[in-house]
Chain A
Amino acid sequence: MIRQIIHKEILENLYSFRFILSLVLIIVLFAVSGFVFVGKYRQQSGDYWEKTNENLTGLKEQSRQLYRLAFYKQGVWRKPKALALCAEGFEKSLPNHFVFDVFSSNLPEIKGESNFTLSHFSSIDWVFIISMILSFLALVFTYDSVSGEKEDGTLRQVLANTIPRYKLLLGKYFGVLLTIGIPLFIGLLVNLIIVVASNVAVISGLDWLKILTIVILSLLYLSIFILLGMFVSSRTAHPANSMAILLLIWVVSVILIPSFGRIISEVSGKTPNPAELERKLGEISAEMWGNADKFGERAGYMSGDVNDPGNNPPARGRLRTAETNAMNQAREDYHNKMLAPASVGRNLTCISPTVIYQRISESVAGTGINRCVNLCQQVKEYQASLKEYIRGKDAEDPQSLHLIFPEQSCAQAWQTISRKPVDFGTVPKFQERDLAMGQSLKRAVWDIGLLALFNLVFFVASWVSFMRYDVR
């Protein structure tokens, strides 16, 4: 019986004006999204390899003298990702450039051909189309599913037969889900064909699995809106009223709440102030140099002449290391202070399924803020491994003082680090690693639970309401 109802629902929807309109809109959007992605990805990967090679050439030049490796400011760029097709994760307004040497790293920054005077815009990836447009269409298809039939008088007729109400409800639910599924799948197919045919990005087996996960999650997300539509429709007597309520709910949960995150963090009063960081760094430096003698006699003194008895290399090393460590700490605190409000904002706005859906697709696709944080971590690990490498190589040189501290002029003049050349092949190089699927899924488990919970709540709500619905 359910199958018959589903069949009828789908057929009815297929012939409707709204279906044709949404089919066209969705396919156009997905096709545009595919072309946009191909163009962007091609350009990004060109830039990425060019800049990465530049960095490696620079590093190679430094390997002629070991100490220069330590002081070379490396610039690492975020690698373009094929799965940004599904969820770009606002990456174009997130830091993409990391500059560091062995001792310290700058705050991550945004570099490249971006125009800061343009207003921020969401890129049209799958998540954008599905979370904004398709969720809206889900409501357009369901707002009259119960109240509309009541107005037409067909609901009475159907229920006069021997169909239990729950079957009718389920039939309608799956009918709409499948109807929405048609433009979604055609759109996805068009999109993927464009991307695969253009041959710019390699989509690996694991990536296909991730894409499948995102598609399933998208259906889960859309199903929330379908159930919501049916719930509101079975609470109201007129489809016009249900449309009004649904639209307002949609506006609040899809547009207003997700943008609420920023203001929450600003109100908390803990917005980090860049001028303050500068001041703090200045204070640290002034304090360390003011108490230079704490680190040993004549730590503040430095003369280019190695044999000058006034020099005290170990003390100098302690001073400079302490200064750099304190500055690194200050920068890291600042960085954490910047990150904290973003995640707090997201957690607090999780009352909107859209936010959950965005977050979950980002973690499956391995993009977004978490990736930036992870990249910072990887840079840090790399710094440590390069330092370890330098320490190891330095130990082999009897002429070096074996004092690895952040002052290039000392290293140059006193040979605190070896000046011997090293084999570039053995120097560790930075390579971005993807987050493991298991790890990203672990992050996503909560969000999947939340999406399922939303589904459950709205399903029960619409079931209860429909059971008591007055069909007259």
Chain B
Amino acid sequence: MIWKIAKKEFLLNLMTFRFAVGTMLCMVLMAVFVPILAKAYQERLKTYNQNVSYNEAELHKVTVYQNITPTIYRQPSLLAVFSEGLEKQLGNSATIQYNEVPEINAAAANHYLSIFSIFDASLIFKIVISVLALLVAYDAISGEREQGTLRLVLSNAAARYQVLLGKLLAGLMVLLVPVTMAFILGLVILLCFPMVDLAGSDWIRIGFMSLASLVFIATMYNLGLLFSCLARRSAISLVLGLFLWIIFAVVIPNGSVYLATQILPVQSEDKLNQQMASLQRGIQREFTAELKRSGRSFQGGGSRNDRPGLGGFGRGYVRSCDKVFMENGLIRYSIGVPIEIRYADKRSEAQYGHLRSLFEQTRLADNLSRVSPIFLYENVMSALAGTDMASFRHFIDAVKTHRKDIIEYMRSRTNNFSSSSFFTPCTKEETELPPIDNDAPPLDLRDLPRFSYRADMVESLRRVTPDLALLVFANVLFFAIAFAAFVRYDVR
């Protein structure tokens, strides 16, 4: 019986005008947006490749160990086409330095473009198809009552739960059509671009994305169905549904962010700056103390010959120098660098304290927004696309580990920073000679640790689970209420 009702409803809905218009619009939007989004991805990939090759080229120019300061770039995410998340909001690069620990930072990108809101393919699902779901659902019950057909159906042997389940099934089948079509169309267009190379894990992610989209659309359908069972007139159920939709889509995401900034204000930057300054003074203090303990001291004078900007990564180096300068340099770096490395960790801790207050605020805002299924869906999509906060943190953590490797490498190559090769290619013998003016040969860095990063798919799936479960719960909840309302529905 359920199946019969579902089939009839399905066919009826497929023929409706609103379904045709909505599906057409989806297809057109996908066909227009995806190529543009893919093109934008191509541009980002180009910039990324440029940056990486510049970085590689500079690495071959490095003449002193001090100048090993490669920048690690985060590869732009292809799946950002589906869900942009924080992709353009957070910085996508981190520079490795012995005296600075990289942290998540804001993108140095174009501030002026933030007058435009985020734009990605999931916008089509979360806005257009969700409206379509409401439009399909709003008159499922109240509309039939108005036409008088509900009475006829229920005068037969069909139980109410069968009617409602049939409607649910039909709605899901109907909405499956635009969702699948949109996904397939988007993927086909995407695969037409030469630079698009989807790995196995990407396919799994896309699979989960389409699943999440279906669950989300089902939630919106159930919401529509609920209002249809609550109201006696279809116009009212539509108005109610749309009001709630606009609250979910517009009011809650904006309002919760605002509320979060009010409830949990972030730690002031001044405090952080003070901490940083006091740590900076600490370096000086410790250096002086250490110098005294070592019994060495700086000598006056010293001359050198600089090569500005030619030592790799736009940094200069001391090409040749006299004995005094060499001695002073050895003292400065062998004592100073270990201290600076230690203080970099301390500074990073202070900075992390500040970042944590930001994260907490963001988490609060997210939790407040979880009332809205549209936000839940957005969250799931960005986690699957690898463009959410956690993915960025995962990346930065990998960079931090890499930094440790590089420092270890520098330490082993320069005898714990006490070799002159840390700051100059000039040797002890050469200090006796007149200044040299040609460039020094670059260092042999073939065994420098290489950065490799892979986004952890299992981890992102784990992150997605609670939100997805909430969406499923919302489905069940809406349907249960709808069912309760429909059982008492006056069909006259």
Instruction: Tell me the smallest distance from the CB of A390 to a CB of chain B, in Å.
Output: 29
A345 to chain B, nearest CB (A): 6
The reply to whether A117 and B43 contact each other, CB–CB distance below 8 Å, is no
Assess the B114–A266 pair: CB atoms within 8 A: no
Q: Mark A373-392, 1 if CB is under 8 A from B, else 0.
A: 00000000000000000000
Query: What distance in Å separates the Cβ of A98 from its nearest Cβ neighbour in chain B?
Result: 13
- Residues of B in contact, count (CB < 8 Å): 76
B246 interface hit (Cβ, 8 Å):
yes
User: CB within 8 Å of B: which of A255-271?
Assistant: 255-256, 258-267, 269, 271
With an 8 A cutoff between CB atoms, is A408 at the interface?
A: no
Separation of A244 and B485 alpha carbons in the complex (Å): 26
- Tell me whether A120 and B89 are in contact (CB under 8 A): yes
Contact A266/B44 with A112-B269, A248-B128, A256-B123 known, Cβ cut-off 8 Å: yes
A116 to B257, CA, bound (A): 12
Q: List 11 A-B contacts (CB under 8 A).
A: A17-B239, A118-B261, A118-B362, A119-B86, A124-B254, A136-B242, A258-B117, A267-B36, A271-B109, A273-B47, A279-B54
Contact in complex: B117, A116 (CB < 8 Å):
no
Residues from chain A with a CB closer than 8 A to the CB of B251 are 29
B15 interface residue (CB < 8 Å to A): no
- Please indicate the chain B residues that have their CB under 8 angstroms from the CB of A259 in the complex: 116-119, 123
On whether the beta carbons of A115 and B39 are closer than 8 Å, the reply is no
Chain A positions 1-57 with a Cβ under 8 Å from a chain B Cβ: 17-18, 21, 25, 29, 32, 36, 39
Asked if B389 CB lies within 8 Å of chain A CBs, one says yes
- A428 at the B interface (CB under 8 A): no
* Interface segment, one of B16-24, B214-222, B282-290: B16-24
Chain B nearest CB, measured from A146 CB (Å): 15
Interface-lining segment among A335-343, A410-418, A442-450? A335-343
Residues of A within 8 A of B350 (CB): none
Within 8 A of A (CB), among B219-248: 234-236, 238-240, 242-243, 246
Q: Is the interface of B mostly helix, strand, loop or mixed?
A: helix
Please tell me if B450 contacts chain A, counting CB pairs below 8 Å: no
Q: Does B29 contact A (CB under 8 A)?
A: yes
Cα separation A256 to B125 with both chains bound (whole Å): 12
Shortest Cβ distance from residue B266 to the other chain A in the assembled complex, whole angstroms: 5
A245 within 8 A of B: yes
- A289 contacts the other chain (CB 8 A): yes
Q: How far is the CA of A62 from the CA of B60 in the complex (A)?
A: 45
B135 within 8 A of A: yes
Whether B112 lies near A21 (C-beta < 8 A) is: no
Residues of chain B contacted by A289 (CB below 8 angstroms): 308
- The A contact surface, by secondary structure, is helix
- From B108, B236, B266, give the contact of A274 (CB < 8 A): B108
Q: Does B268 contact A (CB under 8 A)?
A: yes
Interface string of A97-110 (1 = CB under 8 A from B): 00000000000101
Residue of B nearest to A286 (CB): B309
Size band of the interface chain A makes with B: 35 or more
Q: At the interface, yes or no: B265 with Cβ under 8 Å from chain A?
A: yes
Give min CB distance, A237 to chain B, whole Å.
10
Residue in chain B with minimal CB distance to A247:
B131
Given contacts A90-B115, A252-B29, 6 further A-B contacts (CB under 8 A): A117-B358, A133-B250, A256-B123, A259-B123, A272-B110, A275-B51
Q: How far is the CB of A374 from chain B (nearest CB, A)?
A: 14
Contact B86 A267 (CB under 8 A): no
* Known contacts A113-B269, A116-B89; A346/B25 CB under 8 A: no
Which are the 8 A-B pairs with shortest beta-carbon distances? A244-B18, A116-B106, A93-B114, A262-B116, A342-B112, A261-B116, A274-B108, A266-B40
C-alpha gap A243/B132 in the complex (Å): 11
Distance in Å from the Cβ of B378 to the closest Cβ of chain A? 9
Which of B251, B253, B269, B358 has the most C-beta atoms of chain A within 10 angstroms of its own C-beta? B251
Q: Which residues of A contact B54 (CB under 8 A)?
A: 275, 279
A122 interface residue, CB < 8 Å from B?
yes
Are the CB atoms of A285 and B22 closer together than 8 Å? no
Q: Is A421 an interface residue (CB 8 A)?
A: no
Pick the contact of A39 from B18, B39, B127, B262 — CB < 8 Å?
B262
Interface presence of B207 (CB below 8 A) = no
Q: State in angstroms the CA–CA spacing of A123 and B109 once bound together.
A: 21
Contact status A95-B235, CB under 8 Å: no
Partner pick for B36 among A94, A111, A122, A263, CB 8 A cutoff:
A263
- Which listed residue, A140, A248, A338, touches B111 by the CB 8 Å rule? A338
Distance in angstroms between the alpha carbons of A258 and B235 in the assembled complex? 29
B472 at the interface (CB under 8 A from A): no
How far is the CB of A355 from the nearest CB of chain B, in Å?
9
Instruction: Report if B415 contacts A (CB, 8 A).
Output: no
